[in-house]
Structure 1
Amino acid sequence: MAPLEAPLRCVAVRVLMDDAGEIDGLELEAFLNDVAGPHQWLSTTEWLFVEPPVEAGGKLTVPVVMPEAVAVKAVLHDLTKEAKRILFDHATTPGETRKWRWVAFQTAPNAQGQGRFPWECTHA
């Protein structure tokens, strides 16, 4: 039997564009580090596993996964802002969590072939 995964939440974060019309990755990283904390989140630039949430109202968003407790903190932190950036969140299904493990494997593979989420890695 596979080990039980800790609960994860996937949040839709509205992105800002840079001067070249691309997603401003540095700004997104700074925002996520502010609301969730460094090494507490994992993002992709495309909605790979589910459709973008209709709650985003057509705004460009990226999916970001993080531990449930961190997501609650991040959403509450963002609610205090005038221009909210976290537009939707949902608990990941076991299938989605496995797919997010695959995303983690792309940047932090481990010997078991699963990948480590950033919050599971040791950081100096």
Structure 2
Amino acid sequence: MAPEEAPLRCLAVRAVVDEAGEIDGLELELYMNAVAGPHQWISTTEWLFISPPAEADGEITVPVVVPEAIAIKAILADLTNDPNRIVFDQATSPGETRKWRWVAFQTAPNAQGQGRFPWERFNA
């Protein structure tokens, strides 16, 4: 039986776009490092596994997955932003967590054929 995954939260974070109208990945990295901490999050530039939340009101958002304890820290840190950048959060289902493992595998494969989340690589 596979070990139980630690609880994860998926945050919907408002994206900043560059002059070309593309998501500014560097700005997102700086923001997430500030509110969640370096190596404490993983993101994709598109919503792959669920639809963007209705709370985003048509704005461009990106999904960011963090451990549950880090989500609390990030949401509290975001309260100082006006408007808030984190517009929604939800727990990931076991199926979504497996899909996020696949995303992690793209950048950090391990011998078991899974990926390591950034916080697993740097906090070990």
Scaled to the shorter chain, the TM-score interval is over 0.9
Rounded Cα–Cα distance in structure 1 between residues aligned with 2:39 and 2:56: 25
Give the letter aligned to residue 89 of structure 2.
D
Q: Within 5 Å, give how 1:43-122 maps onto structure 2.
A: 43-122=43-122
Give the letter aligned to residue 63 of structure 2.
P
Give the letter aligned to residue 70 of structure 1.
I
Tell me whether 1:6 sits opposite 2:6 in the alignment: yes
Q: Report the alpha carbon displacement of residue 80 of structure 1 after superposing the two structures with TM.
A: 2.0
RMSD over equivalenced CA pairs, Å: 0.9
Rounded Cα–Cα distance in structure 2 between residues aligned with 1:43 and 1:122: 17
Rounded Cα–Cα distance in structure 2 between residues aligned with 1:83 and 1:122: 31
Moved over 3 A (4+): none
Provide the residue aligned with 1:20 in structure 2: 20
More displaced 10-residue stretch of structure 1: 16-25 or 4-13: 16-25
Q: Secondary structure at the match of 1:65?
A: strand
Provide the residue aligned with 1:33 in structure 2: 33
Q: Report the alpha carbon displacement of residue 82 of structure 1 after superposing the two structures with TM.
A: 1.5
Report % sequence identity: 74
Give the letter aligned to residue 34 of structure 2.
D
Give the letter aligned to residue 94 of structure 2.
P
TM-score calculated relative to the size of structure 2: 0.97
Give the letter aligned to residue 80 of structure 2.
T
Q: Report the alpha carbon displacement of residue 94 of structure 1 after superposing the two structures with TM.
A: 0.4
Q: Aligned residue pairs: how many?
A: 123
Unaligned runs of 5+ in 2: none
TM-score calculated relative to the size of structure 1: 0.97
Q: Report the alpha carbon displacement of residue 7 of structure 1 after superposing the two structures with TM.
A: 0.4
Give the letter aligned to residue 41 of structure 1.
W
Q: Secondary structure at the match of 2:78?
A: helix
